[in-house]
Structure 1
Amino acid sequence: MPLHPEVLWAQRKDRLYLTIALSDIQEPKTDLKSNRLTFTCKQKDGNVTNDYGIDIPFYDEVSTDDAKIHATARNLQLCIFKKNKEAEYWPRLQKDKVKPVYLKVDFDRWVDEDDELEGGAEQDDAGFDFANMMNMANMGGMPGMPGMPADMNDLPEDDESDDEEVEETKSDNKA
């Protein structure tokens, strides 16, 4: 029976991102069908060769024509497009409600359904560009705020201490 590599997944409205976290993959075989992904490979660890494999029945149908696979020395990445691109976000990757232990959410790629935008910028519903605001904050503050130092580290030191000494008292709790 083959071992299971760690599989990370994330989604957008129109696609899935899968990362098979396994280094030095040898003899990879990927079989993508409209309702399932099967992957097998070998990995040599010293003198021992291990067989790895996964079989993921998808929650809904995917397109097999335009899938992209990218192999690196550390992992295998797949970008798989959903067949129904106007569908809602999937509640899970697999058809089964039972999640295998090797399947995990890829939080580096995860975007909530409410946060996904056409342009890809990190904006809220009102059009605020949070990525740009964070860059301004890292540059020393937002412009147009008179009386505020550009860098919060340039605040004058206060010689007077607001800390008051508190007298400690002991209470006798005799019963």
Structure 2
Amino acid sequence: MSSVSESCHPEVLWAQRSDKVFLTIALPDAKNVSVKCEPEGLFSFSAVGVQGESFDFSLELYGKIVPEGCKTNIGLRNIPCSIQKEQKGWWKRILKSEEKPAPYLKVDWNKWCDEDEESSSCKFI
């Protein structure tokens, strides 16, 4: 048995617009939430769950971002994050790496919008 406590990954849902990426971190009643956005596209998250378990992950996003344009709301059920892209435009994927994303990273179909539909039908945020 190892005494090193391994961190867990919460489910993360993502969607994008031409100017933003939306991440929704499913972690009810999270405490000590820390979110960092770095200009080259690194998004880092850590928090403590209800039973004291440690959650953390980092995502190397596809493009550069504006750290001052990153907004996080800590809700009771989840933690929505809005990340401003440095340049407007659609990313062909969420991560820089072409490898298949980790199993905890999933498309948020409730917020999903296709590039050609953005101006007409995607006005939720």
C-alpha displacement at 1:54, in angstroms?
1.0
State the 4+ residue runs in structure 1 displaced beyond 6 angstroms.
none
- Structure number with the bigger relative contact order (C-alpha 8 A, sep ≥ 6) is 2
Q: TM-score, normalised by structure 1?
A: 0.63
Aligned counterpart for 2:102 among listed residues 100, 108, 111? 100
Map of 1:81 onto structure 2: 84
C-alpha displacement at 1:122, in angstroms?
3.0
Q: Which amino acid aligns with 1:97?
A: E
Are the equivalent residues in 1 in contact too, given 2:10–2:27 (CA < 8 A)?
A: yes
Same amino acid, percent of matched pairs: 32
Map of 2:3 onto structure 1: none
Q: Could you say what the CA RMSD is over the residues aligned between the two structures, in angstroms? A: 1.3
How many residues of Structure 1 are paired with residues of Structure 2 in the alignment? 115
Query: In structure 2, what is the Cα distance between the partners aligned to 1:64 and 1:14?
Result: 13
Aligned counterpart for 2:49 among listed residues 43, 51, 66? 43
Map of 1:122 onto structure 2: 121
Query: In structure 2, what is the Cα distance between the partners aligned to 1:59 and 1:67?
Result: 15
Unaligned runs of 5+ in 1: 124-175
Mapping of residues 13-162 of structure 1, within 5 Å: 13-34=18-39, 35-45=41-51, 49-85=52-88, 87=89, 89-98=90-99, 99-117=101-119, 121-122=120-121
Map of 1:8 onto structure 2: 13
Q: Does the residue aligned with 1:52 lie in a helix, a strand or coil?
A: strand
Q: Which amino acid aligns with 2:11?
A: E
Unaligned runs of 5+ in 2: 1-5
C-alpha displacement at 1:44, in angstroms?
2.2
Are the equivalent residues in 1 in contact too, given 2:28–2:50 (CA < 8 A)?
A: no
